[in-house]
Each structure stands twice: as C-alpha cells, then as structure tokens.
Amino acid sequence: MLTDTYKCTKCKEVKLKTDFHRCSRSKHGVVSQCKVCRKIESAEKYPSRKEYFRQYARENRVRINERSRNYGRKNRAKRRLIDQEWEAKHPLDKKRDMLNGKAKKFGLKERTTLAQLEALWEAQGGICPYTLMPLSPRTAVADHIVHPVNGGSNTISNIVFVTRQVSRHKLRLSPQTFSERAGLDFEVVSQRIEAIHCRYKNAWQANP
Ligand SMILES: [Zn+2]
C-alpha cells in the first residue's frame, strides 16, 4: 500500500498514495487530489479561517453566549444529578473527603479512612449525641469534636456524626460551649460521645 502510487487529478503529478488523504469510499482508497493541492484549494476557498470565525463570533455574540449558557445550565443539572446519585450510594466517601480536606487545610497530618467512618457509623447507631435526633447517612455531618483551630486532631477519636443543624451552629465552638449555648447538659453529651467511641474501639479491635 505504501509503495502504491496515484496520479493527482489537479497537478497531474504521480505521487505516493501516502501523499493523498485516505477515502474508503473511493475505488483507489484515496481522494483524487493530493494533500498539497487540497491545501491550496481550501486556502483559496477560505482566505483566512481565523478571520472568518472571528467575524462570525462578533456578529453572533448574543446567540453564541446564550447557547453556551444554556448548555452550561443543562449540564450543571445533569452533573448535579450524577453527583447526588453518587453521594447517595456512597454517603461516607463524601464525609471522609470533607474531613480530610479540612485536615489538610488546617495542616493536620492524620487522615481518616472509609473503613473507620463505616465502623464509627455502626457504633453510633444513627443517633446524634447532642440532640438525640435520628441521623440519615445522607444528611448526617461528620464533625470534628474539637475543631482543628482549637487543636483538635483528624483522628477518629475526635470525630462524631451530628445532624446538619448541630453542625451549622456548632462551627468552631468547643462541645462544652456549644452544649451550654444550646441548653444541653454537657456532661450527658460527653458521656454519649464517649460511649460511641468505646463501642467503636471494641468493634474495631474485634474486627480491625
Ligand atoms: Zn496535486
């Protein structure tokens, strides 16, 4: 095939077939004009493709912008849906990423694993230690008990699942300050958190 030659219908030169663009529909497997001739012809047809597209963009700016905006909108919804579906299937992955992202931001070395979070979730039994409200894997928030800015680590012993509402109000407050402000008995809260981590440790040791 490489040694096959073919005569260009334009410049009438006999050239190697590799000097022609391929065309599976044609009898000879290549187009009738050589690459050089095709290039010259297309340059004559479109004096400046760049200028042509620039002009087109100038004249159709509103339409182009609107179209790209619509496309973005359509895909945002689609992307969000894909994200949501993934999150629903893997609720703890997202929480692990959030925790580790936060740890990185505050310069903490420890990283939490998915297995640890799964074990903690089991140990916690779907109850928020602050409010005693039921937790769902999707809406629960994995919270640093002592916030990293106050010296809290990113180890599992400093993490507990709470409701979104607690997370929103606790922010960087210590568990004690938050409990007092929320009218909760801090002693009871800390006992609950301790019990969760005790169950976690036992389960972890039994099945590491
Ligand atoms: Zn030619």
pLDDT at 194 over 70: yes
Residue 208: its pLDDT value, please? 61
Whole-number Å distance, alpha carbon 32 to ligand 1 midpoint, is 9
- How many angstroms separate the alpha carbon of residue 47 from the centre of ligand 1? 20
Q: Which of 43-52, 169-178, 182-191, 198-207 has the lowest average pLDDT?
A: 43-52
Q: Pick the closest to residue 19 from 49, 28, 47, 27 (CA basis).
A: 28
> Ligand 1 center to residue 126 CA distance, Å?
76
pTM: 0.62
171: Cβ contacts below 8 Å, ≥ 6 apart:
147
Q: How far is the CA of 162 from the centre of ligand 1 (A)?
A: 74
What average pLDDT does range 74-91 have in this prediction?
86
- What is the whole-number distance in angstroms between the Cα of residue 28 and the centre of ligand 1? 15
